[in-house]
């Protein structure tokens, strides 16, 4: 177990290298967000010692505690559903938020950021599989939603889109989903050229995600080990 993270990190990097080569993309355009939800601070510190400095958290309280206990130069990404009574913690401790999908939350987060005197990098979460139980706006809402964010919530720096595809879908369905994600991101980029980021891919599908144009891979267990 001692070298577990290091070996897994090397293995993931090899896979990223190969997928970038296949996709004819530069590796510099792809970063790993180590998803550290429910992992101990000592695991984060081990990963940090290997040169990983982007971490993703799903729970605001946990983010707050960890950001205080971990090195100052870590970039924290909030990737979970946002509860309106937690926007203050997110505004204070996160540098990126991947899960913007409601105007009410955008408004409250914008106000909390105003109080903090800071801005946050923001991605809009899209519910690509149109599953009722899942977070995210629908694909056809992307244009109006992103325009509204840009016009009304200046403390959110809009950077692109985030997707959490259904991991249980068939291989063919997943490929189709990846294709439509690539298309949605391209069409957003033609409208808003600053929205260069695409947060897509987890432990299970990060190589396919690179082919689909992902710039941020949210990798949890295959890097940091099983969550407790």
Q: Which residues bind ligand PLP (CB under 6 A)?
A: 35, 37, 58, 79-80, 164, 202-203, 218-222
Please identify, using beta-carbon distances, which residue of 21 and 227 lies nearer to ligand PLP. Answer: 227
Please report which residue ranges of the chain form alpha helices under DSSP H: 4-23, 41-49, 60-69, 87-93, 103-116, 142-152, 171-191, 206-211, 221-224
Q: How far is 53 from 74, CA to CA, in rounded Å?
A: 5
Minimum CB separation of residue 218 from ligand PLP in Å reads: 4
Please identify, using beta-carbon distances, which residue of 184 and 217 lies nearer to ligand PLP. Answer: 217
Q: Exposed (0-12), middle (13-18) or buried (19+): which is 55, by Cβ within 10 Å?
A: buried
Minimum CB separation of residue 82 from ligand PLP in Å reads: 12
What are the backbone angles phi and psi of residue 58, rounded to the nearest 5°?
A: -105, -15
Non-local CB neighbours of 85 within 8 Å, separated by 6+ positions? none
Minimum CB separation of residue 11 from ligand PLP in Å reads: 14
DSSP 188-212: HHHH-TT--EEE---TTTHHHHHHT
Minimum CB separation of residue 201 from ligand PLP in Å reads: 8
Minimum CB separation of residue 163 from ligand PLP in Å reads: 9
Question: Do the beta carbons of residue 58 and residue 82 sit within 8 Å?
Answer: no
Q: Which of 181, 188, 187 is nearest to 211 (CA)?
A: 181
Please identify, using beta-carbon distances, which residue of 196 and 222 lies nearer to ligand PLP. Answer: 222
Minimum CB separation of residue 131 from ligand PLP in Å reads: 14
Label residue 130 left, alpha or beta by phi (over 0 means left) and psi (-120 to 50 means alpha).
left
Please identify, using beta-carbon distances, which residue of 58 and 180 lies nearer to ligand PLP. Answer: 58
Minimum CB separation of residue 57 from ligand PLP in Å reads: 9
Please identify, using beta-carbon distances, which residue of 153 and 163 lies nearer to ligand PLP. Answer: 163
Please identify, using beta-carbon distances, which residue of 20 and 219 lies nearer to ligand PLP. Answer: 219
Please identify, using beta-carbon distances, which residue of 95 and 116 lies nearer to ligand PLP. Answer: 95
């Amino acid at each position: 177990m001692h070298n577990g993270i290091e070996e897994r990190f090397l293995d993931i990097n090899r896979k990223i290298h190969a997928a970038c080569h296949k996709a004819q993309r530069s590796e510099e355009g792809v970063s790993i967000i180590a998803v550290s939800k429910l992992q101990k601070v000592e695991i984060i510190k081990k990963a940090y010692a290997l040169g990983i400095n982007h971490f993703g958290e799903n729970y605001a309280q946990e983010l707050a505690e960890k950001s205080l206990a971990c090195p100052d130069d870590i970039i924290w990404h909030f990737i979970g559903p946002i509860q309106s009574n937690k926007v203050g913690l997110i505004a204070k401790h996160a540098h990126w938020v991947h899960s913007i999908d409601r105007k009410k939350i955008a408004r409250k987060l914008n106000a909390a950021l105003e109080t903090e005197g800071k801005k946050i990098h923001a991605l809009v979460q899209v519910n690509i599989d149109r599953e009722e139980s899942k977070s995210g706006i629908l694909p056809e809402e992307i244009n109006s939603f992103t325009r509204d964010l840009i016009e009304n919530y200046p403390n959110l720096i809009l950077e692109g889109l985030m997707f959490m595809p259904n991991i249980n879908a068939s291989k063919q369905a997943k490929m189709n989903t990846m294709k439509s994600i690539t298309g949605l991101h391209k069409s957003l980029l033609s409208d808003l050229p600053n929205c260069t980021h695409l947060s897509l891919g987890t432990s299970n599908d990060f190589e396919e995600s690179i082919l689909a144009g992902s710039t941020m891979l949210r990798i949890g267990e295959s890097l940091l080990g099983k969550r407790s």
